A and B are shown apart, each in its own frame.
Chain A
Amino acid sequence: MKICVCVKQVPDSWAEKKLNAGDSTLDRASADRVVNELDEYAVEEALRIVEAGEGEVTILSMGPDEAADSVRKAISMGAHAGIHISDPALHGSDALATSLVLAKAIEGRGFDLIIFGSESTDARMSVVPAMVAARLGLPQMTFANKVEINGSNLTIHRVTDYGYDEVESSLPAVVSVVEKTNEPRYPSFKNIMAAKKAPMETLTLADIGLDASTVGLANAWSQVNDFAERAAKAKGTIITDDGHGAEKIEEFLVTQKFI
C-alpha cells in the first residue's frame, strides 16, 4: 500500500492571523508556522493503515521554502519520505492552482490512497481534496471519520448533518479525514532522528511539468479587491454579579427582544 498524505504549513491556529497589505496574500511571518492541525489526523490514519498491513507513507506539501520544515515534522510522526513543491511562481496560488499542482505531483507515482485533513485552519475552504480527486479522476471519499480498507475496496463514514453516510469505492481513491477521526501520535525520538535522513524530493513547477502561467497570484481565478481588519467592538456593558446578575441579563435580553 502506497499512501500519499498532503499537508499544509499554516500559521499556528492559536495565533492571530493577518493578510499582507501589499498583495492581500497570507502574512506567513506574522505567526509561528506549524503543520495544519487537521492534517495530523491524515498522517495518523495513513500510519495506522500501513502498520495494520504493509506499505509506505509519503508526505506531500506545496509551499514556500520554509514549508520543508512541516514536511519533516509530518515525516517524524513515522512516515517514510517527503515531496516538497516549492517555486516562487506559486506565491498567491488559489485552490484551483493548488489542486492542479498537487494532482500533477501525485500523478504517475502509483499511490493507492491520497489522504488529506478535511480543511486547513487558515483558508478553511475544504475544497482541495475534492478538487484533487476531480483532477485525478479518482473516487472522492471525503469528510471521513472512519476509514476501512478491504483488499482493493474502501469504505468510509462520511460525516453529514444527520449522522453519517456509509460510502464505498475502489482503490485508488482520495480521502479526507475530519478532526477526531483518531488520536494523532507524538513523534518519537527515534522517528524524529529518522525524519532527518528520510528521502525528500524538492521539486519546482518545471519538475512536475507545469508552466508558471497556470498558477500564482496573477493567474488566480479570483482576486481580492480589498480587506480590512474588523473594527474592535464597542465596549459592552459589563457588571459584577451581586446576586442580581441573572435579572440584569434577563433585562438585556428583553430590551434586545430575544425574550
Chain B
Amino acid sequence: MTEVLVLIDHTEGAVKKVSLELLAMAAGIGEPSAVFIGPGADNAIATLGAHGAKIVYVVDGQAMLDHVVIPKVDVLTKLVAEKSPAAVLIPSSADGKEIAGRLAIAVDSGVITDAVAVSADVVATQNVFGGATIVHSKVSKGTPIITVRTNSIAPVQSGGTATRVDVAAEISASASATKVVNRVSVAKSGRPDLSEAAIVVSGGRGVGSDEGFTKIIEPLADALGAAVGASRAATDAGWYPHQFQVGQTGKTVSPQLYLASGISGAIQHRAGMQTSKTVVVVNKDGDAPIFDLADFGVIGDLHVVVPDLTALVTARK
C-alpha cells in the first residue's frame, strides 16, 4: 500500500485533534505515515500509532519552529521525493496552507486547500463560497497536496503502534531568511478554540453591547462548553474581539452545533458557518435569513430566551 504523509500539528508533542482526523482520512487513501516536526516527539508517537500511523517521521528540535514555515516545507519536500506518497495531507491552518503552497512549488505538484473529504482515488471535496457550492477536484500534476479542515472526519482508534524513523534536516538558507525572535501568548479564555470547537455560541447585532456578550452569550457558551463567535456587525461595533469573527472575512467554522443569537444571517456571516451540522437560532425578526439555515429557531428576544436557556442547561448538570 502506498504511503500517505500527514503533517502533524502539535504543541510540544501534544497532538491536536485535527492531526488525528487527518490520520483517519489518510487511512482511506493508503497507509498513514505521520510527519512530526519540532520538539516533543516522545510524547506523541504512541498517540499517533494508536490512531493509525504506521510510521512517524521525526525531525526533533525547536530550531525547526524558529523560522516561518520553510523548515517544514523542506522536510516534506525531501520526504515526497524519497517516498513518492499517494498524497500529502496538511491541516488547513494559516501555516498549513502556506506549507502546502510552497511544497506544491517545490515538488511541482497541484495543491487543493480546505478539503472536507478525500476519496480513495484522491478526489477532494470542498465547500466553496461559504458552503453554498460543493466542488469535487483532483490534482492533475505531481503528488496531490491537500489541506483539510478541522472536524471533517472523526479520529479512529486503530490501537496500533508506530515505528519512529528519524529524519535528518538542516535549516536552509531560505528558511533562515526569517527568524522568530519572540512568541507572545495572548491570554486564553479557557474556552475551546473557535475553529476546533464542537459547539459554537455566536452573537450578532441583536446582542447590543459588549456587556451583552459577557453577560448573555459567554455564560451560555460556558454552560455548553462551547466557543464564542461573533458576527461582523458585532466585531465592527467593538463589542467582541475581531479574532472571534465568524464569516466570509473571518473564521470558517463547522461545528456539530452552532447557536446563533441576534444574527440576521447576511451572506457575509453564512459563508463562515453554513456547513455547521446543526443550527439553532434566536432572533427577534422572523424574516431574518438565518432562519433558512435553522434546524430549530425561536422568534423572540435573545435577552430573555438566552439567559433562560443558560439557566436550564446549568440546572441539568
Residues on A facing B (Cβ under 8 Å): 13-19, 24, 37-38, 94-96, 99, 118, 121-122, 124-131, 134-135, 137-143, 155, 157-170, 179-180, 220-230, 232-233, 236-241, 245-250, 252-253, 256, 258-259
Q: Find out whether the CB atom of A125 lies under 8 angstroms from the CB atom of B308.
A: no
Q: Find out whether the CB atom of B135 lies under 8 angstroms from the CB atom of A227.
A: yes
Interchain CA distance A93-B93 in the complex, whole Å: 23
Min Cβ gap A227→B in Å is 4
Interchain CA distance A129-B178 in the complex, whole Å: 15
Q: Find out whether the CB atom of A250 lies under 8 angstroms from the CB atom of B312.
A: yes
Q: Out of B94, B114, B313, name the residue touching A250 (CB < 8 Å).
A: B313
Min Cβ gap B140→A in Å is 5
User: Which residues of the other chain, B, contact A226 by a CB distance below 8 angstroms?
Assistant: 135-136
Chain B, interface size: which category?
Answer: 35 or more
Q: Find out whether the CB atom of A37 lies under 8 angstroms from the CB atom of B249.
A: yes
Secondary structure type dominating chain B contacts: mixed
B301 is an interface residue with CB less than 8 A from chain A = yes
Q: Find out whether the CB atom of B278 lies under 8 angstroms from the CB atom of A256.
A: yes
Closest to B98 in A: A130
Interchain CA distance A98-B23 in the complex, whole Å: 31
How many residue pairs, one in A and one in B, have C-beta atoms under 8 Å apart? 261
Q: Find out whether the CB atom of A252 lies under 8 angstroms from the CB atom of B68.
A: no
Interchain CA distance A122-B169 in the complex, whole Å: 37
Q: Find out whether the CB atom of A166 lies under 8 angstroms from the CB atom of B224.
A: no
Interchain CA distance A95-B98 in the complex, whole Å: 12
Q: Out of A16, A96, A166, A239, name the residue touching B104 (CB < 8 Å).
A: A96
Interchain CA distance A167-B181 in the complex, whole Å: 6
Q: Find out whether the CB atom of B293 lies under 8 angstroms from the CB atom of A248.
A: no
Min Cβ gap A176→B in Å is 9
- A165-B182, A167-B181, A222-B110 known; A245-B282 Cβ under 8 A: yes
B168 is an interface residue with CB less than 8 A from chain A = no
- A38-B249, A247-B312 known; A161-B93 Cβ under 8 A: yes
- A16-B267, A241-B305, A249-B296 known; A131-B286 Cβ under 8 A: no
The residues in B between 68 and 125 inclusive whose CB is less than 8 angstroms from any CB of A are 68-70, 93-94, 97-98, 100-102, 104-106, 108-114, 123
Q: Out of B104, B132, B268, B309, name the residue touching A14 (CB < 8 Å).
A: B268
- A14-B268, A225-B138 known; A179-B249 Cβ under 8 A: yes
Binds A, one of B33-41, B48-56, B154-162, B183-191: B183-191
Secondary structure type dominating chain A contacts: mixed
Q: Find out whether the CB atom of B140 lies under 8 angstroms from the CB atom of A222.
A: yes
Instruction: Type the 1/0 row for B238-255, where 1 means its CB is closer than 8 Å to any CB of A.
Output: 000011000011101000
B257 is an interface residue with CB less than 8 A from chain A = yes
- A163-B186, A236-B294, A238-B297 known; A222-B180 Cβ under 8 A: no
Q: Find out whether the CB atom of A233 lies under 8 angstroms from the CB atom of B111.
A: no
B139 is an interface residue with CB less than 8 A from chain A = yes
B304 is an interface residue with CB less than 8 A from chain A = yes
Q: Find out whether the CB atom of A127 lies under 8 angstroms from the CB atom of B112.
A: no
B163 is an interface residue with CB less than 8 A from chain A = no
User: Which residues of the other chain, B, contact A13 by a CB distance below 8 angstroms?
Assistant: 248-249, 267-268, 271
Q: Find out whether the CB atom of A258 lies under 8 angstroms from the CB atom of B268.
A: no
Min Cβ gap A33→B in Å is 15
Closest to B141 in A: A221
Q: Find out whether the CB atom of B132 lies under 8 angstroms from the CB atom of A229.
A: yes
Q: Find out whether the CB atom of A241 lies under 8 angstroms from the CB atom of B300.
A: yes
Q: Find out whether the CB atom of A221 lies under 8 angstroms from the CB atom of B111.
A: yes
Q: Find out whether the CB atom of A140 lies under 8 angstroms from the CB atom of B68.
A: yes
Q: Find out whether the CB atom of A126 lies under 8 angstroms from the CB atom of B97.
A: yes
Q: A143-B94, A222-B140 given. 18 additional CB < 8 A pairs?
A: A14-B268, A17-B132, A124-B252, A127-B101, A130-B69, A134-B101, A134-B174, A140-B69, A140-B70, A164-B186, A166-B181, A222-B111, A241-B301, A245-B308, A246-B298, A250-B309, A252-B295, A259-B313
